Structures are given as structure tokens and as C-alpha cells.
Amino acid sequence: AQTVTQSQPEMSVQEAETVTLSCTYDTSESDYYLFWYKQPPSRQMILVIRQEAYKQQNATENRFSVNFQKAAKSFSLKISDSQLGDAAMYFCAYKRSNDYKLSFGAGTTVTVRA
Amino acid sequence: DSGVTQTPKHLITATGQRVTLRCSPRSGDLSVYWYQQSLDQGLQFLIQYYNGEERAKGNILERFSAQQFPDLHSELNLSSLELGDSALYFCASSVSVSGGAPRETQYFGPGTRLLVL
């Protein structure tokens, strides 16, 4: 079974600063996908970024980027130039390429200080 | 807005009752997934449908069932409700390769918050 671990229950960042969220996963597969989802107070699950395991290049979406270390099974999310609207819970998720379900970590709550 | 709609947004009911949650996927998406988010269990996959057929089951209780209709909307039925069923229920959808395993990203609806009293 695949497990996703987010070791940081909470992180705090000053507005305009950078914060990095950690995620590790356990798998024996070579072909899979990794995702970061954001859940603001509205509880909506919003896709932030996705990474295909076969791609060596780290994914980037505007102020959000990942550091994907396949051998280490690590998938961290960096939020640059943090904004008040970034305050949310962030979930790391794993999906095997030929599977249907997403497996989620426990989440990291990000607080942005003005 | 992900394009996935869910109704109702909130539902309050009593133990032993039955409720139905409804989901409409994004236009063109053939796969629908149901997830449960609770404080003690986190986010868990319940069940997946592809073009009307059940494709995968996760941690779904026997008291729960789902179906996907010809117009691709899906319903999750929860019966004999218990206090522990109180949770946020998400529907997600994705475009699937015809007949194959879905490789695309899952887009989530706003969720239905269920409170069982």
C-alpha cells in the first residue's frame, strides 16, 4: 500500500517570504503522479501543482514549485512571495499511474502573517 | 471553480436515516470519484465510476452505495447513518483514456458537509 507522509502539521510564513512544505511517500512503483492540493477555509480542494514521476524536471506554477527527488521519494512544495490568500491546508497526494484513487497525506496548515 | 458541482452543500440528519449526495462532473469527464474527509480518518477514497460502471472501491462501508447515471452524474447513498459518518464528502472527476486507467488529474467539487446528530 502506498503511504504519504507530511511531517509538518503547521507552518507559518511572513507575507512575501518563502515557505517549503515537506512530503514523502512510500511506493515500489516507477510510474506514478504526485499532486499538491490546497484546501482554504471554504473547504474546496484546489489543485496547486502536479508532477509526473517520469519527468525529471520539477513542475512550476507561478509562485508554486516543487522539488521532486524520486530516489529519496520526496516531493516538497515551495511557495514563494507568500500572500495572505495562500493561507490554507495543503495536501500532498500520490496516484499510481494505473490506479484510480488518490492517496493523501494528513495535510499541513499554512498560516501567513501580515 | 473546478466545474464539478455537488448538492446539497450542507446536510443535517439523524442517526439511522438515509441521505443521497449528488455530483455532476465537469463537462466531458467520464470518471467520478467519491472521497470522505473526516477529522480522524483524513481524506479517504470511497469509490470510482467510469461511464456508468463501478471501477474501483476503497474504504467504503457496506451501508454506503453509489451509482453513475447515463448523463454521467453520480449519487452517493448513505444509509443507517451513524454519528461517525459525519464528514465532508467530496466528488471529483477526471477525463479518462477510453477503457483504460485514468491518468489525468482529478478535479474536486465543493463538497457536501454531512452532520449526523
* Residue carrying C-alpha cell 447513518: B81
pLDDT of residue A1: 56
DSSP letters for chain B: --S-EEE-SEEEE-TT--EEEEEEPPTT--EEEEEEEETTTEEEEEEEEETTEEEEE-S--TTEEEEE-TTS-EEEEE-S--GGG-EEEEEEEE---TTS---SPPEE---EEEEE-
pLDDT digits (tens, 9 = 90+) for B27-53: 888 899 999 999 888 899 999 999 999
B48 vs A100: CB contact, 8 Å cut-off?
Answer: yes
Q: Count of CB contacts below 8 A, A vs B?
A: 55
B111 vs A43: CB contact, 8 Å cut-off?
Answer: yes
Contact A83, A74 (CB under 8 A): no
Over 90: is that where the pLDDT of A16 sits? yes
B interface residues, A as partner, C-beta within 8 Å: 2, 31, 33, 35, 42-45, 48, 55-56, 58, 88, 90, 92, 101-103, 105-108, 110-111, 113
pLDDT of residue B83: 96
The secondary structure of residue A83, as a DSSP letter, is: -
